[in-house]
Amino acid sequence: MKKGTSMTVTSPAKQASAFGAMARSNTAVGLFFMLPAAVFLLCFLTYPLGLGVWLGFTDATIGRDGIFIGLENYQALAGDSVFWMAVSNTIFYTLIASILKFILGLWLALILNEHLPFKTFFRAIILLPWVVPTVLSALAFWWIYDAQFSIISWSLMELGWISGPINFLGDPNNARASVIAANVWRGIPFVAISLLAGLQTIPQSLHEAASLDGATGWQRFRYITLPMLTPIIAVVMTFSVLFTFTDFQLIYVLTKGGPVNATHLMATLSFQRGIPGGQLGEGAAIAVAMIPFLLASILFSFFGLQRRKWQQGGQD
Amino acid sequence: MASVEFANVRKSFGTHPVIKGVDIEIADGEFVILVGPSGCGKSTLLRMLAGLENISAGEIRIGGQVVNGLAPKERDIAMVFQNYALYPHMTVADNMAFSLTLKGAAKSEIEKRVKPAAEILGLSHLLDRFPRQLSGGQRQRVAMGRAIVRDPQVFLFDEPLSNLDAKLRVAMRAEIKELHQRLKTTTVYVTHDQIEAMTMADKIVVMHDGIVEQIGAPLELYDQPANLFVASFIGSPAMNMIKGRLDPNDTQKFVTEKGVVLPVAKAPESAKGLALIYGLRPEHMTIAAGGIPAEVVVIEPTGSETQMIMRVGGDLVTGVFHQRISARPGEVVGLSIHAESTYLFDAETGKRLV
């Protein structure tokens, strides 16, 4: 009986030993557990990105596999004035919209951080523009900016400030300002709520200490709030810049890049050339051309703003 | 430096009163400690003095000037917070110099003020560090340095030692006291630790439930507590409290509910017939043959003294003895009580009668 028991115990132990050796090696176990995530990333991130980059080096069109043509697409884009206009539009759009979103978002966050009546209600309301599907809010803006039925034009005309309706989306500069305004409206909640979360991590006693030290409201903001908020600002604004730089839906619904390509962003131009235009290779090349800009903004945020010595603690 | 006065100060949060009419006078250069259990309103009172909480009624005066309507920065006071409230993104030097920087002081002036303060506190070698790189005691010192650099009219301390370990607390206690002796700035200090209050203060304000129970020098509170609350709060181990009445025939005898007779010094005739509480400090008794029989329950020798919990009649009594005692639990010893150092309290009002 005793012998039997010991035998039944040893044989599965022997079988398990190979698995046991692996289980004992932390590296092997770690790699094993990473497998599902790795497969997921490979299928849904690396493959599409790789395919996009590859297409940029081919002359593929819809319905025809392209052949490798090296940098020909990029050479063509280098001499393409519409492409360069889209690049400058994208930079302008991102820059202005991000600055506005930052200023207005921070302002809103500071207000919501005060002891207001109905504070939670306002905080919930603030999120609405962000929650509404982009296409829906874009459609609303389309009406607001309508050449004939715009409520803005109507109100200003009723007030007697203008004589005829404003051509919001028909004039290149008006159109640029209009799409930026729509993007800012949509992007503020993300900035405001994230910064509000950041503001709430600043201990109240620091503000109290500063006000005892003689700081005015502005000085408290300048010397306490802003420096302590910087790491969060860096993260939030990096995301905001990335979202804005790659914006597509708003433009596509509002102007489709018009009038005369005046509001084309790199993302909309890439789609325009690649899908309705059929030139997959060229469209992909435009999309790939966005990558350096995005990497630059991430690196700037990472090295310039996020790593602060005082956050690290430990040794200097 | 300046005097500080609270005149019938009240504070309510909504309809809930937390400070119910407080009068305190603090002389110029005095070290005053507000002490009481948590929730008694002592921190609120300090924050009202700092200007961080508004005053519902009454007046607070600093140097004779009413400060009710003044913003914190106009009151010329410095405060050390319980969590230190150091600016995490500034070095020690910048933390200490912050108030001067705000005023636009010249670099040489800032250095002239920060350096000696850092030297006093032993922070000279840490001036370039960030708060995260400091130990708790060092952070505490930086917070004090920030206050010293200001050279304010009044120092406020809000439970500054409660985040430190026991050993460091004792060391910092001495340091703060020494600092006050050197600077002689009026200081208001809040704590819930009566030992801290006893060892550091010139004057102690005992607070309970939004009112001042008693104000006085440490030993005055210890020797002449105004009521049951102060008597039980000050002193460690706490005063023994035993319920009972006076012997109707002899005002020098107190009879506990269990019928044990305890000695009393000259109780007033008016105390006869009242429900009383007999107060006896653990250190005011000795072991003597033929004394009141007491059954040893727990014996705790600490080396320098011996603490014993005993059962007298049905009541538990704690005693502290300066001799070594070899009694065992269950043994009965004789207890001799010094009648002169006993107290009698009115059980209903809590007021001390003797």
**pLDDT of A168-205, one tens digit each?**
888 888 899 999 999 999 999 999 999 999 999 999 99
B131 contact residues in A (CB cutoff 8 A): 310
**Which pLDDT does position A166 carry in this prediction?**
84
Best A204, A212, A307 member to test B by mutation, with max B CBs in 10 Å, is: A212
What fold does the segment set B4-233 form as a domain?
Answer: Rossmann fold (3.40.50)
The architecture CATH gives domain A81-308: Orthogonal Bundle (1.10)
Which secondary-structure segment (H or E) carries B337? strand B332-337
pLDDT of the residue at A160:
84
User: In chain A, what residues touch B132 (CB-CB under 8 Å)?
Assistant: 310-314
pLDDT tens per residue across span B58-84: 999 999 899 998 999 889 999 999 889
Sequence-ordered list of residues with C-beta below 8 angstroms from that of B160, at least 6 positions apart, any chain: B80, B81, B82, B140, B143, B144, B172, B176, B189
In CATH, which superfamily holds the domain spanning B240-346?
Nucleic acid-binding proteins (2.40.50.140)
Domain segments of chain A as ranges: 81-308
Higher-scoring residue by pLDDT: A41, A310: A41
Cβ of A310 and B79 within 8 Å? no
Q: How many CB atoms are closer than 10 A to CB B310?
A: 26
The predicted-structure confidence for B193-223, as pLDDT tens digits, reads as follows 999 999 999 999 999 999 999 999 999 999 9
Q: Is the pLDDT of residue A9 over 50?
A: no
A312 CB neighbour count, 10 Å cutoff:
12
pLDDT at B198 (0 to 100):
92
The conformation of residue B350, written as its DSSP 8-state character, comes to -
User: With contacts defined as CB-CB under 8 Å, which chain B residues touch A224?
Assistant: 87
What is the least distance, in Å, from the CA of A220 to any CA of chain B?
A: 10
Residue B92's alpha-carbon distances to A245, B128, B134, B173, in angstroms, are: 41, 6, 9, 22
pLDDT for position A22: 66
SS percent in chain B: helix, strand, coil, step 5: 30, 35, 35
Residues lower than pLDDT 70 in chain B: 1
To the nearest whole Å, the CA of B209 is away from the closest chain A CA by: 24
Q: Which of A160, A165, A176 is nearest to A251 (CA)?
A: A176
Question: Which pairs with CB-CB distance under 8 Å and at least 24 residues apart come from B11-16?
Answer: B11/B41, B11/B44, B11/B45, B11/B48, B11/B53, B11/B55, B11/B56, B12/B56
Smallest CA–CA distance, residue B206 to chain A, in Å, is 25
- Contact criterion met (CB < 8 Å) for B130 and A208: no
pLDDT at A95 (0 to 100): 94
pLDDT tier at A302, thresholds 50, 70, 90: confident
Return the structure tokens found at B27. 């002389």
DSSP B104-161: T--HHHHHHHHHHHHHHHT-GGGTTS-GGGS-HHHHHHHHHHHHHHH--SEEEEESTT
CB B120 within 8 A of CB B148: yes
> From B83, which residue of chain A is nearest by alpha-carbon distance?
A205
Strands of B250-256's sheet in order across: B261-263, B250-256, B240-247, B276-280, B342-346
CB B80 within 8 A of CB B150: no
Residue A305 has pLDDT above 60, yes or no: yes
B273's CB contacts (< 8 A; 6+ apart) are B245, B246, B248
pLDDT score recorded for residue A310: 55
Helix (H, G, I), strand (E, B) or coil at A250: helix
pLDDT at A189: 92
Q: Which of B35, B2, B38, B41 is nearest to B21 (CA)?
A: B41
pTM for the complete prediction? 0.78
Contact B35, B42 (CB under 8 A): yes
Query: Which of A212, A216, A313 shows the shortest C-beta gap to B50?
Result: A212
Contact between A247 and B108 under an 8 Å Cβ cutoff? The reply is no
Which of A203, A215, A315 lies nearest to residue B102, judging by beta carbons? A215
Q: Please indicate if any CB of chain B lies within 8 Å of the CB of A305.
A: no
User: Do B133 and A309 make contact, defined as CB atoms within 8 angstroms?
Assistant: no
- pLDDT in the model for residue A309: 54
Across the interface, do A214 and B87 touch by the CB < 8 Å criterion? Answer: no
**Window from A103-117, A118-132, B185-199 with minimum mean pLDDT:** A118-132
Q: Is A259's pLDDT higher than 80?
A: yes
The residue in chain B having the minimum alpha-carbon distance to the alpha carbon of residue A208 is: B52
Residue ranges per domain, chain B?
4-233, 240-346
Residue A315 confidence (pLDDT): 36
Same fold, B4-233 and B240-346: no
Which amino acid, A260? Answer: V
Q: How many CB atoms lie within 10 A of CB B270?
A: 9
What pLDDT, on a 0 to 100 scale, did the predictor assign at position B201? 93
Between A and B, how many residue pairs show a Cβ–Cβ distance under 8 A? 76
Distance CA B191, CA B33 (A): 7
Instruction: State mean pLDDT over A202-226.
Output: 91
Q: Is the pLDDT of residue A313 over 80?
A: no
> Which two three-digit tokens encode residue B11?
């504070």
Residue A68 has pLDDT above 60, yes or no: yes
What residues have CB less than 8 Å from B155, skipping those under 6 apart? B77, B78, B79, B80, B147, B180, B185, B186, B187, B188
Give A313→chain B minimum CA distance, Å.
5
Predicted local confidence at residue A306, as pLDDT: 60
- Inform me whether the pLDDT recorded for A21 exceeds 80: no
Angle at which helices A280-299 and A266-274 cross, to 10°: 160
Instruction: Look at residue A256 in the predicted model and tell me its pLDDT.
Output: 86
User: Is the ipTM reported for this complex over the cut 0.90?
Assistant: no
**Which residues of chain A from 202 to 261 reach within 8 Å of chain B, CB to CB?**
203, 205-206, 208-216, 219, 223-224, 227-228
